[in-house]
Structure 1
Amino acid sequence: MKLPVVVIGGKSPYTSTGGYASYARNIAKIISATGHPVHLLTFADIKKIEKRDIATIHFIKSRWLNHLPLIRNIELAALPLYSYFFFKELIAIFRSYKNNRIIIWGIGPWGLSGALLKIVYGKKVVLISSYFTTFLHEMRGSLLAARIRDYGISTKLKYLFVYYIIARIYSFLSTLVISMSEKIVTHYKSTEEILKSESQINTNKFIRMRYFVEVFKKEIRTPVSKRMQKAFDSRKPIVTSICRQDPRKGINYLLHALVLVKKQIDCECLIIGAGILRDANKRLARKLQLSSVIFPGAVADIHTILRKSSVYVLPTVEEGSSALSVIEAMSQATPIVSTDCDGIPEDIKHEYSGLLVPPHNSILLAQAIVRLLKDKQLAMKLGSNAKKTYDEKFELLGMKQDVEHLLQSL
């Protein structure tokens, strides 16, 4: 019998729109196809165990944690507490296999509970860690993007505290996880460089793995936005952005860019996704008199929206790697405007499969959006090339082969 593998990715891969959750689902599905028993740990409102097509899903009850003020605003602040509950579940899974060897595949900071299990059971636990960015790098981006003019002094002070206090603690915990990991899986050169700059890592631990992103519909029940439907019915150009709305995604820069875009082209804008700054971004849009900007929240079927969109824009100032939403836009041949930060240029080649501008620059962002809205032939060419790149780079077989090779080597 092949060794059991436990994947830890934080949020539910069926209801969350985040990158970690989607990656957890994809990696669990690939491992399951190799014949290994797979368990997937995620936090939820109620505790239950559910057998799904890709894995046995362990939902860990954590509703009360979300009522703590700091955790409600910055979810990863709960990492040590979540990890304790994940650790308890890992012990139960480990014992169910009669204390034989087990593989823990932690995604980003969620590998902490796997490191705790390894401390207790030693060589019987094999720890693999997948990384896309680090909490320190992520919070640095949020701190820089949380401008006082857009979000006020309280938001700026919060991210100053998180970056200089909380992120330093997490950096220590991340170093612990990395030091105890047999292998560190990355998919982008930019991620490796960030990890090397923050931690003393044995380079032999790194595995650069091919990447697969499955396009699937989330199990999210949300009412159809009448304003969004009206925007599509208007036949005006649609500018779409999909992301978790925290400072590092740069939605404030997009809103300032749209002020300039609207002076030249009458268009609609969809900013899709939940997040701690959604209400603040709505207030900023009203302040800038952008009545055509719609904030529908989380949406289950984003791919239909992407196909209907004229341009996809991600004004991110920090990713660590690339961005799931950029890859999804590539899969739908949607023309892309983004920034040249971190791993985005590893997926999007400027002037070939999209347009890239420097982060924090609303003027150049606006110029790129206007250029694609006016030049439909260029937009179509960039979208077609992005789809071609997606088909060549993000394919299931390559990642499955890399995962199989890794598991066989352990």
Structure 2
Amino acid sequence: MIKYFIFFIPELLSVYELLKKEHVDIVHCNGTWQIKGILGGWLCGAGVIWHLNDTRVVGFINTMFKLLALRLCHGFITAGERVRIHYCNDRRFSKKLVMEIQAPVDTSSFDPDRVESDQTLENFDGLRIVTVGNVNPAKGFEYFIEMASILNKQYGNLTFVVVGPHFESQKKYSEKLRSLVKRLRMDNLVFYGRSSDVASVLKAADIYVCSSVSEASPMSVWEAMSMARPIVSSNVGDVAKFIKDRENGFVVPVKNPAALAEKAGMLIENRDLRRIFGEKARDVAIQYLDVEICVRKHAEFYRQVMKMS
């Protein structure tokens, strides 16, 4: 953080000089902290778009964001309805361009009819209950582990798989998860690590579970939908907008392993329900979350910003 402030002015000047040299028409910055790019774009007279993809910034910083954003930006892209409400639910934003664009999934690549199953997962015993994500507290993997412990007391022949890298910056959290697994004697829970082919991992999953405590537009859920997996998800981001509870999946309260276990149990017991939920989930992904939809929305938003700048 100290380095951020020390190098703020030199880096801002570098950004400004580059944008000016390249005669940039639009500056599109992703994330609430990308202030240097926003300022650089404003200084060189470009159209400025701030792409907001979280709901974690609160209090004083959120207030400062709004003051800067309203003065410097032509428009805002939000990664979902909850993000829009968090940052732009203010009458002052009514004069600004605001568009919701979900994180996209390539439904032609994440297609269960075109993807081979991950062989490592295929070799695991029984039904495979999978979750995917970088190992960090926002993913709420402790609730996935606690859910697994509950299900182990009710069913046999299950394997639980956590797919995602363990970064050094999250070492304490990773150790906490491993300690929890050991304490609960979860011999059938596997930390798979990083995967270079998430689609094949999802193809091998019988049930997909998202236990996150904070998301904006959860890519892993959209990808599981595209792969026609039956899904149980905590109610984060815009999940409930695309997974209608009991229609094409289950949505449960955040930080509730018992609720995750209850709904996962219903899928464990009913193969037909797994198939129906999966098929319906893929239909929704194709209709609302495909990458081509994302491209069209971005192009339209850029055209609107160009008219204003």
TM-score normalised by length of structure 2: 0.82
The separation in 1 between residues aligned to 2:6 and 2:283, in whole angstroms, is: 43
What aligned pairs does 1:164-179 form with structure 2 within 5 A after superposition? 168=59, 170-172=61-63, 174-179=65-70
In the other structure, the counterpart of 1:90 is 15
Runs of 4 or more off by more than 4 Å in structure 1? Answer: 77-86, 228-231
Is 2:190 the counterpart of 1:267? no
What aligned pairs does 1:25-64 form with structure 2 within 5 A after superposition? none
In the other structure, the counterpart of 2:202 is 306
Could you tell me whether the CA contact under 8 Å between 2:77 and 2:101 is conserved in 1?
no
Q: CA deviation at 1:352?
A: 1.4
In the other structure, the counterpart of 1:346 is 241
Which amino acid is the alignment partner of residue 408 of structure 1?
R
> What is the count of residue pairs matched by the alignment?
289
Partner SS for 1:271? strand
Which amino acid is the alignment partner of residue 52 of structure 2?
Y
The separation in 2 between residues aligned to 1:331 and 1:259, in whole angstroms, is: 28
Q: What do the CA deviations read for 1:291-332 (whole angstroms, capped 9, x no partner)?
A: 21111222110110101101111112222x331100010110
Quick one: which of 258, 278, 287 aligns to 2:174? 278
Identity %: 18
Could you tell me whether the CA contact under 8 Å between 1:104 and 1:125 is conserved in 2?
yes
Structure 1 residues 186 and 232, CA gap change in structure 2 (3 angstroms)? same
Is 2:132 the counterpart of 1:242? yes
Partner SS for 2:224? helix
CA RMSD in angstroms, aligned pairs only: 2.8
What aligned pairs does 1:68-83 form with structure 2 within 5 A after superposition? none
Structure 1 residues 209 and 284, CA gap change in structure 2 (3 angstroms)? same
Which amino acid is the alignment partner of residue 249 of structure 2?
G
In the other structure, the counterpart of 1:289 is 185
Q: CA deviation at 1:344?
A: 1.1
In the other structure, the counterpart of 2:57 is 136
Which amino acid is the alignment partner of residue 178 of structure 2?
K
Structure 1 residues 351 and 101, CA gap change in structure 2 (3 angstroms)? same
Which amino acid is the alignment partner of residue 273 of structure 1?
G
Partner SS for 2:134? coil
The separation in 2 between residues aligned to 1:117 and 1:261, in whole angstroms, is: 53
In the other structure, the counterpart of 1:159 is none
Is 2:32 the counterpart of 1:109? yes
Quick one: which of 14, 36, 46 aligns to 1:125? 46
Which amino acid is the alignment partner of residue 379 of structure 1?
R
Which amino acid is the alignment partner of residue 371 of structure 1?
M
Quick one: which of 251, 273, 280 aligns to 1:356? 251
Structure 1 residues 118 and 335, CA gap change in structure 2 (3 angstroms)? same
The separation in 1 between residues aligned to 2:225 and 2:5, in whole angstroms, is: 36
Structure 1 residues 215 and 357, CA gap change in structure 2 (3 angstroms)? same
Q: CA deviation at 1:88?
A: 5.1
Unpaired stretches in structure 1, ≥5 consecutive residues: 1-70, 72-76, 138-167, 218-227
Larger RCO (CA under 8 A, 6+ residues apart): 2
What aligned pairs does 1:320-331 form with structure 2 within 5 A after superposition? 321-331=216-226
In the other structure, the counterpart of 2:76 is 184
In the other structure, the counterpart of 1:401 is 296
Partner SS for 1:109? coil
In the other structure, the counterpart of 1:55 is none
Structure 1 residues 259 and 396, CA gap change in structure 2 (3 angstroms)? closer
Partner SS for 2:76? strand
Unpaired stretches in structure 2, ≥5 consecutive residues: 110-117
The separation in 1 between residues aligned to 2:92 and 2:6, in whole angstroms, is: 26
Partner SS for 1:256? helix
Partner SS for 1:238? strand
Could you tell me whether the CA contact under 8 Å between 1:105 and 1:128 is conserved in 2?
yes
Q: CA deviation at 1:186?
A: 2.0
Which amino acid is the alignment partner of residue 246 of structure 1?
N
Structure 1 residues 102 and 87, CA gap change in structure 2 (3 angstroms)? farther
TM-score normalised by length of structure 1: 0.63
Could you tell me whether the CA contact under 8 Å between 2:105 and 2:222 is conserved in 1?
yes
The separation in 2 between residues aligned to 1:399 and 1:196, in whole angstroms, is: 20
Partner SS for 2:247? coil
Structure 1 residues 304 and 101, CA gap change in structure 2 (3 angstroms)? closer
Q: What do the CA deviations read for 1:170-192 (whole angstroms, capped 9, x no partner)?
A: 43553355222110112422221
Partner SS for 2:176? helix
Q: What do the CA deviations read for 1:371-406 (whole angstroms, capped 9, x no partner)?
A: 111111101100000000011112344333322222
In the other structure, the counterpart of 2:115 is none
In the other structure, the counterpart of 1:205 is 96
Which amino acid is the alignment partner of residue 107 of structure 1?
N
Could you tell me whether the CA contact under 8 Å between 1:188 and 1:346 is conserved in 2?
no
Could you tell me whether the CA contact under 8 Å between 2:249 and 2:277 is conserved in 1?
yes
Structure 1 residues 384 and 292, CA gap change in structure 2 (3 angstroms)? same
The separation in 1 between residues aligned to 2:227 and 2:68, in whole angstroms, is: 36
Quick one: which of 102, 111, 122 aligns to 1:232? 122
